[in-house]
Amino acid sequence: MTDSSLHDPPRSAAELDERQPQGQWPPSEEMLAEPVPSDIQEASKERLRAAWKTPTGIRYLSAVNNSVIGKWYSLTAFGFMLAAGVLALLMRVQLAVPENDFLSSDRFNQFFTMHGSAMMFLFAVPMFEAISILLLPAMLGSRDMPFPRLSAYGYWCFLIGGVFVLGSVLFDAAPSSGWFMYPPLATEDEGVGSDIWLLGLSFIEIASIAAAVELIVGVIKCRPPGMRINLMPLYGWYVLVVGGMILFAFPPLIAGDLLFELERSLNWPFFDPERGGDPLLWQHLFWIFGHPEVYIIFLPSIAIASMVVPTAAGRPIVGYSWIVLSAVGTGFISFGLWVHHMFTTGLPAISLGFFSAASEAVVIPTGVQIFAFIATLMVGRVTVILPTLWIAGAVAIFTAGGLTGVMVALAPFDWQVHDTYFIVAHLHYTLFGGMVFPIIGGIYYFYPFITKKKMSERLGRWSFWVTFIGFNVCFLPMHLTGLLGMPRRVWTYPGDLGWDWLNMISTVGSFVIAAGILIFAWDLLRPKGRQTLTERNPWNAGTLEWSHDVPTEAWGARSVPFVTSRYPLWDQPEIVERMDAGRFYLGDAPEGRRETLITSAVDAIPQLVVRVTGPAWCTLVAAAFTGGAFILPTFGIYGPAIVCGVLAIATVIWWLWTATAIIPDKVMKDVGLGLTLPTYVSGPKAPGWWAIFITMLGDATAFAGLIFGVFFFWTARPDFPPDGAAHASAALTTTAGVLLAGTWLSTWFARGLHRAGHVTIARALLIAAPIMASGGAASLIGAVWFPGLQPATHAYPAMMCALVVWSVAHILCGAIMQGYCLARSLAGRMLPEFDADLWNTTLYWHFQGVSGIVTSLMIGLVPRVM
């Protein structure tokens, strides 16, 4: 991610000179000071308003703007949180007294499974995405997220998947093997519960990755001109880190899900020790996801705190680079902790030692973060506002959870408290302190920004104290309950072990928490129609989101500002006035299109003005069909599921065909302040290229998860591969490798030749490429088919076949992309100088070519060496 200067020398003769940004950069003070005539202001406002108008009536559902999607997203996640909270209360009723029979064992197991799954997958992670979609563009002075329709698609996937997974509780069909779904218990579970969990959540994981891709591109490419990486609001840093973490944490779980579902539906024995499998493989894949997940939840909330603390202290944050260190360091180290969830699985002590050490080391960046807040308070003059009360409560709770975390990170101590109520207490301290409290604080803080009304100070205090006291009454005693030996996930317990009174106290506390949350929910949702609008910047904050118009306008930033400070509203006194006047960039929408600026990754030099997609139904339709493709197989309905899958792909293709990489009417556009920017670029400057790059990083991680599986079996099982086992055909795997290399090179050459104007040769290559790709896929299938690898007999052939399944699906996807480019070229929608589709397809094949060749080696060569 390096930047070149504004005036790049063209890389090849074919790169047209006029496609470079031209004109004044950076803008001079005189240009900025020049007033905009009021009639022009009014006219451009009208045009912007028309372009960004949120659809009304039933068409409201087709909206894609970040402010609308963000609102739906966060309210849906909040609703799921309340539902999961109700499950917790019912469990607390069951545990209030010993030997209770309020809930049956099976019901209790369903409830705790769904409580954990919903809180993690339907509340904590989506809430981060929701809030970021809502706030990030405003903090970056940008109009919208780079891919609004992707946000909408992600939201609809989340809603459909969430309702499906959570709804299963009402039909007594919910998963009941715990949110961690350990096989063999979960793989051998007889109902549909495990399938609901797997398919429903895979679907939501995909939505999460989509959001992560969009947020990363948003932070890297959509910052306002001048906002160098050292001026970015800390929230942006956290989004960048968390997006990166999602990208590397979720895919191993998706790989695990694939293996799990293959075992469930086709009886391939990855986790069955009788047939060469190993239940521990799932635990590794799950926790490689599961531990970073904790930080994926925690970091965004601390990011909110890092926006509130400077406002409360009335001065810039102290130790900006320290906090960046903390975010990045935590992001890295959090991937070295996963085995601390497996300290009791009997791994060698020395291996446990590495993870114990990393688990202690991660405390350091987290501590830096907290002390940077305190340092800011030291240097500033603190005004106590309501959000700071919640943040202070969060720190109080989180530090307690962190300190017990230091204890359980010591492996021998964990051998005692692992899977007891001590851990239940610890994790709720970290999650309430590291997520719930900061988020509620953040809602009190940002509510005036979102609705232009204020929430009640009085209700806010009540809700804080009730929740805070209730929380400690509920969870503090649980430390002792656990030390007295009470394991987790027991639906009842005997009365003679000293656990009864502690549980009763916890149950009382849990209802007090519920009361506190209800007060908050009422304050959040009560109608505030008659209340007057707030002032524009009610907390006197310094960051760009508080420049938004009151009453609200759908365009986001009236004009995209030139930023020279971390706290522009404090340090650039005229900035709001100039934004309002449309003095800055993109103050008008002469073509009536939605547009936003793309800037360079590090120094935010303007590079491009892109058209942003508007309202559409295709996102909803695509999500519905995707939902069908994931949900129907749960009930064994495979035919319609395949139809849904095909229709989902078709809808996505239609959506891309009609709305992306459109050849613009004008190659260059005047964006204001004497700057002219290209309207179309392909390759590394284009946000779409970045989206593919980031997605493929995640995809490669999932593939790496499968490869990890092969080596895991090799170290863990003496019979991998079993003696005399049939291996994949060497000839066919070699053929596959060659064909895949061929299709990769054809695509790559096609891009170069196409750009140089040799359209016909490029088209011929694009015809040959998918044929070679299909041939490669067929060879891979043949390679395991002809020697007779029986995946249901042993984990070795199963693992080889899983690699083939993964690769074939990806190769076919790549072939569709090649065909798509060919069709675009034939339809005149892709020209040598407008070739983003071909760049993106080539990028896809860079990844897929490598992973296809690796697959060939993994099935053809590596087992013979093992």
Partner 1 sequence: MKIGIALALTVVLASCEGRQSVLSPAGRDAEVLANLFWWMLGGAVVLWLFVNGLMLYFSRIRRKRHSLRVAQWFIFMCGVVLPTTVLAGLLIFALREMPQQREPGEGLTLRVTGESWWWRVEYWPDGADEPVTTANEIRLPAGSRSEIELAANGVIHSFWIPALGGKTDMIPGRVNRMSLEPTAPGTYRGQCAEFCGLSHAHMALEAVVMAPEEFERWLGAEARDARAPEGAEAKRGKQLFLSQGCGGCHTVRGTPATARVGPDLTHLGGRKSLAAGMLPMDRQSLVGWLSAPESIKPGVNMPGYDHLPPADLQALAAYLEGLT
Partner 2 sequence: MVWPNRYSSLWHMIAAPVVWAVHFCAVYGGTALVCARMDAPGLARIGIAAASVVALGLIWWIGRRAWRQWDYASRANRTHGGPRAEDRREFLGHSAWLLAIVSAIGVIFVSLPALFIESCL
x/- binding map, residues 99-118, to partner 1, per CB under 8 A?
Answer: -----xxx--x---------
Residue 587's φ and ψ, nearest 5 degrees, are: -75, 0
Q: Taking the complex as a whole, how short is the minimal distance between the CB of residue 796 and partner 2, in angstroms? A: 17
DSSP 820-840: HHHHHHHTTS-BTTB-HHHHH
Q: Which of residues 336-365 bind partner 1 (CB under 8 A)?
A: 344-346, 349, 352-353, 356-357, 360-361, 363-364
User: Considering beta carbons, is residue 369 or 855 the nearer one to partner 1?
Assistant: 369
* Residue 396 contacts partner 1 per CB under 8 A: yes
User: What's the Cα-to-Cα distance from 234 to each of 297, 331, 442, rounded to whole Å?
Assistant: 16, 15, 14
Residue pointed to by tokens 């809030």: 131
- How far apart (Å, rounded) are the C-alpha atoms in residues 401 and 393? 12
User: Considering beta carbons, is residue 228 or 758 the nearer one to partner 2?
Assistant: 228
Instruction: Judge residue 659's burial from the number of C-beta atoms within 10 Å of its C-beta, 0-12 exposed, 13-18 middle, 19 or more buried.
Output: middle
Q: Are 343 and 418 in contact (CB under 8 A)?
A: yes
Q: Are 67 and 554 in contact (CB under 8 A)?
A: yes
Q: Taking the complex as a whole, how short is the minimal distance between the CB of residue 712 and partner 2, in angstroms? A: 9
Residue 609's φ and ψ, nearest 5 degrees, are: -115, 125
User: Considering beta carbons, is residue 411 or 692 the nearer one to partner 1?
Assistant: 411
DSSP-derived letter for residue 313 is H
Q: Taking the complex as a whole, how short is the minimal distance between the CB of residue 715 and partner 1, in angstroms? A: 13
Q: Taking the complex as a whole, how short is the minimal distance between the CB of residue 315 and partner 2, in angstroms? A: 11
End-to-end CA distance of the chain: 39
Q: Taking the complex as a whole, how short is the minimal distance between the CB of residue 241 and partner 1, in angstroms? A: 18
Binding-site member from 318, 425, 478, 817 for partner 1 (CB under 8 A): 318
User: Considering beta carbons, is residue 10 or 412 the nearer one to partner 2?
Assistant: 412
DSSP-derived letter for residue 611 is E
Q: Which of residues 186-225 bind partner 1 (CB under 8 A)?
A: 188
Give the list of residues 6+ apart from residue 485 with CB closer than 8 angstroms, or none: 420, 497, 499
Q: Taking the complex as a whole, how short is the minimal distance between the CB of residue 554 and partner 1, in angstroms? A: 38
- How far apart (Å, rounded) are the C-alpha atoms in residues 812 and 819? 10
Q: Taking the complex as a whole, how short is the minimal distance between the CB of residue 784 and partner 1, in angstroms? A: 24
x/- binding map, residues 171-190, to partner 1, per CB under 8 A?
Answer: ------xx---x-xx--x--
Tokens of 97: 């007294």
Q: Which of residues 365-394 bind partner 1 (CB under 8 A)?
A: 367-382, 384, 388, 392
Residue pointed to by tokens 């990028």: 843
Q: Side chain identity at 865, as an amino acid letter?
A: V
DSSP lists the bridge partners of residue 560 as: 585
Binding-site member from 102, 322, 335, 708 for partner 1 (CB under 8 A): 322
User: Considering beta carbons, is residue 718 or 828 the nearer one to partner 2?
Assistant: 718
Q: Taking the complex as a whole, how short is the minimal distance between the CB of residue 340 and partner 1, in angstroms? A: 12
User: Considering beta carbons, is residue 333 or 817 the nearer one to partner 2?
Assistant: 333
Tokens of 331: 């992001």
Tokens of 363: 């405390």
User: What's the Cα-to-Cα distance from 560 to each of 550, 557, 566, 582, 595, rounded to whole Å?
Assistant: 17, 6, 16, 8, 11
743: partner contacted, choices partner 2, partner 1, none (Cβ within 5-8 A by kind): none
CB atoms within 10 A of CB 406: 12
Binding-site member from 489, 526, 666, 864 for partner 1 (CB under 8 A): 489
User: Considering beta carbons, is residue 233 or 797 the nearer one to partner 2?
Assistant: 233
For the beta sheet containing 675-678, the strands, ordered from the edge strand earlier in sequence to the opposite edge, are 22-23, 675-678, 668-672
580: partner contacted, choices partner 1, partner 2, none (Cβ within 5-8 A by kind): none
Q: Taking the complex as a whole, how short is the minimal distance between the CB of residue 816 and partner 1, in angstroms? A: 40
565: partner contacted, choices partner 2, partner 1, none (Cβ within 5-8 A by kind): partner 2
Q: Are 169 and 160 in contact (CB under 8 A)?
A: no
Q: Taking the complex as a whole, how short is the minimal distance between the CB of residue 8 and partner 1, in angstroms? A: 38
User: Considering beta carbons, is residue 315 or 548 the nearer one to partner 1?
Assistant: 315
Q: Taking the complex as a whole, how short is the minimal distance between the CB of residue 367 and partner 1, in angstroms? A: 5
Residue 226's φ and ψ, nearest 5 degrees, are: 90, -20
Task: Return the closest-CA partner of residue 383 out of 459, 453, 313, 476.
Answer: 313
Q: Taking the complex as a whole, how short is the minimal distance between the CB of residue 700 and partner 1, in angstroms? A: 30
- How far apart (Å, rounded) are the C-alpha atoms in residues 576 and 406? 46
Binding-site member from 33, 50, 406, 646 for partner 1 (CB under 8 A): 406
60: partner contacted, choices partner 2, partner 1, none (Cβ within 5-8 A by kind): none
Span interacting with partner 1, options 10-18, 317-325, 578-586, 679-687, rule CB under 8 A? 317-325
Binding-site member from 10, 35, 495, 498 for partner 1 (CB under 8 A): 498
Q: Taking the complex as a whole, how short is the minimal distance between the CB of residue 155 and partner 1, in angstroms? A: 33
User: Considering beta carbons, is residue 226 or 433 the nearer one to partner 2?
Assistant: 226
User: Considering beta carbons, is residue 230 or 790 the nearer one to partner 2?
Assistant: 230
514: partner contacted, choices partner 1, partner 2, none (Cβ within 5-8 A by kind): none
54: partner contacted, choices partner 2, partner 1, none (Cβ within 5-8 A by kind): none
230: partner contacted, choices partner 1, partner 2, none (Cβ within 5-8 A by kind): partner 2
Q: Are 807 and 709 in contact (CB under 8 A)?
A: no
The DSSP element (H or E) to which 671 belongs, if any, is strand 668-672
Span interacting with partner 1, options 3-11, 143-151, 487-495, 602-610, rule CB under 8 A? 487-495
- How far apart (Å, rounded) are the C-alpha atoms in residues 743 and 768? 8
Handedness of CA 662, 667, 668, 669 (dihedral sign): negative
x/- binding map, residues 254-293, to partner 1, per CB under 8 A?
Answer: -------------------xx--xxxx-------------
Tokens of 203: 């679907």
User: Considering beta carbons, is residue 314 or 336 the nearer one to partner 2?
Assistant: 336
For 221-271, the three-class secondary structure string (H helix, E strand, C coil) is: HCCCCCCCHHHCCHHHHHHHHHHHHHHHHHHHHHHHHHHHHHHHHHCCCCC
User: Considering beta carbons, is residue 563 or 853 the nearer one to partner 2?
Assistant: 563
1: partner contacted, choices partner 2, partner 1, none (Cβ within 5-8 A by kind): partner 2
Q: Taking the complex as a whole, how short is the minimal distance between the CB of residue 85 and partner 2, in angstroms? A: 36
Interacting residue ranges for partner 2, rule: CB under 8 A: 1-3, 226, 228-231, 316, 320-322, 324-325, 328-329, 332-333, 335-336, 348-358, 360-361, 364-365, 563-566, 601-603, 711, 715-716
- How far apart (Å, rounded) are the C-alpha atoms in residues 45 and 50? 9
Binding-site member from 418, 583, 685, 754 for partner 1 (CB under 8 A): 418
Residue 14's φ and ψ, nearest 5 degrees, are: -70, -20
* Residue 788 contacts partner 1 per CB under 8 A: no
320: partner contacted, choices partner 1, partner 2, none (Cβ within 5-8 A by kind): partner 2
Give the list of residues 6+ apart from residue 749 with CB closer than 8 angstroms, or none: 765
User: What's the Cα-to-Cα distance from 670 to each of 284, 310, 584, 675, 827, rounded to whole Å?
Assistant: 53, 37, 12, 6, 29
* Residue 415 contacts partner 1 per CB under 8 A: yes
CB atoms within 10 A of CB 660: 16
User: Considering beta carbons, is residue 109 or 600 the nearer one to partner 1?
Assistant: 109
Binding-site member from 73, 268, 270, 493 for partner 1 (CB under 8 A): 493
Task: Return the closest-CA partner of residue 165 out of 206, 199, 119, 138.
Answer: 199
The angle subtended at Cα 451 by Cα 445 and Cα 456, nearest 5°, is: 55
Q: Taking the complex as a whole, how short is the minimal distance between the CB of residue 811 and partner 2, in angstroms? A: 28
